[in-house]
Amino acid sequence: MRSFIISSALVGLATAAASPYAQCGGTNWSGDVVCESGYTCTVSNEYYSQCLPGTAASTTLATSTTKAAPSSTPTTGAAGKLKWLGINLSVAEFGTGEYPGVWGTHFYFPDDSAISTLLEQGYNIFRVAFSMERLVADKLTNTVAADYLKNLTATVDYITDNGAYAILDPEIITDVEGFGSFWTTVATAFKSNEKVIFDTNNEYHDMDQDLVLNLNQAAIDAIRGAGATSQYIFAEGNSWSGAHSWNTTNGNLAGLTDSADKLIYEMHQYLDSDNSGTSDVCVSTTIGAERVSGATAWLRENGKIGFLGEFAGGANSQCEAAVTGLLDHLEENSDVWEGALWWAAGPWWADYIYSFEPPSGTGYTYYNTLLKSYAP
């Protein structure tokens, strides 16, 4: 999912050499494997390699926003408008392996002008991906890198000063104690901004299920312990936080506790054959609603609230029908679903199949009219 998707980003091809940020390798890849001068073919995972500056990077993304969970959940669906609809902003986490990295070369920050355009279209929540390793160098218990935090804060403030919510979305870690320390640091920096949402971690995967539970709980406890008691927290699950497998994989996460009672479960869902979001081909016109229906039942049975932190589909009629069905399902079950975020916008996504970067991103030009019709 998101990690896969980031991998699948910027899929542009050149005839002699792959263009900057284009795919250059991966399972069953048959296109160019050499990048243009100044770019290196960098492995993101077994499915995807990408042309990045120098020996650069891959990425990670960000999380979603919020509303307080009700004290009790209805036993039947409740149709209505979603509370939040927005876009993932991905670029500050680019440059994996290059720490602290060079601003403008290995990483960047979202453009205020692009955010402004998206705000004008009616989107009211944005998930800001950032790099743990860049914010706290070497160890999670270290102090923050002041310049990186300053730029991250400026992006968050721009979003929230304009009335929208900003989700802070870091990358994966397995150190429970260090994770708590990291979240104490981050929550302390943002505890006065009530429109900030804390996404515990992007897409846990291939991990012991008890560890996923313990990491989430450590983050929740640290955030509340730092004095951030008015903001929502988004907890993600194992198996890339996939909605399609949530009810069979992440059942123990129903045991998470939050002293502020503002915990929301963030899931991700793509519509291609392997749920990875690396293809613009959707399985069917109905696959969107089908893949989240089990998660919907889990949320209702456990009295929980969910948020779809990543979704996307290719720019074609079959995917458009699937995306429409997905959003219709969320609205029809808005008693347990608070909202959703498209993956993804960002100034370095070039001709990526889902790019929502205005004004010319493939996803933005094809889907903006549809998506904004679901905005609150």
> What is the tens place of the pLDDT at every residue in 138-183?
667 677 778 888 999 999 999 999 999 999 998 766 677 788 888 9
Catalytic residue among 203, 266, 338, 357: 203
| 193-201 average pLDDT score | 97
Distances (CA, A) of 287 to 101, 270, 283, 323, 332: 40, 9, 6, 8, 16
pLDDT-derived band at 62, boundaries 50, 70, 90: very low
Which top CATH class is 84-374? alpha beta
Return the closest-CA partner of residue 241 out of 277, 201, 278: 201
The predicted pLDDT at position 102 comes to: 83
The C-alpha angle 367, 344, 193, rounded to 5 degrees, equals 115
Catalytic residue among 133, 266, 310, 338: 310
The predicted pLDDT at position 10 comes to: 31
pLDDT-derived band at 241, boundaries 50, 70, 90: very high
Q: DSSP secondary-structure letter at 50?
A: E
- Of 178 and 254, which is predicted with more confidence? 254
In the chain, CATH 3.20.20.80 covers 84-374
pLDDT-derived band at 76, boundaries 50, 70, 90: very low
Tokens 């409740």 correspond to what residue? Answer: 78
What's the CA gap between 24 and 11, in Å, rounded?
9
Give 310-355 pLDDT, tens digit per residue.
999 999 999 999 999 999 999 999 999 999 999 999 999 999 999 9
Query: Is 310 among the residues known to form the active site?
Result: yes
Say if residues 39 and 143 touch (Cβ distance below 8 Å): no
Return the closest-CA partner of residue 123 out of 79, 159, 173, 147: 159
Say if residues 3 and 205 touch (Cβ distance below 8 Å): yes
Query: Is 320 among the residues known to form the active site?
Result: no
**Helix ranges, 66-124 (H):** 112-120
Return the closest-CA partner of residue 263 out of 68, 81, 111, 102: 68
What mean pLDDT value characterizes the chain? 84
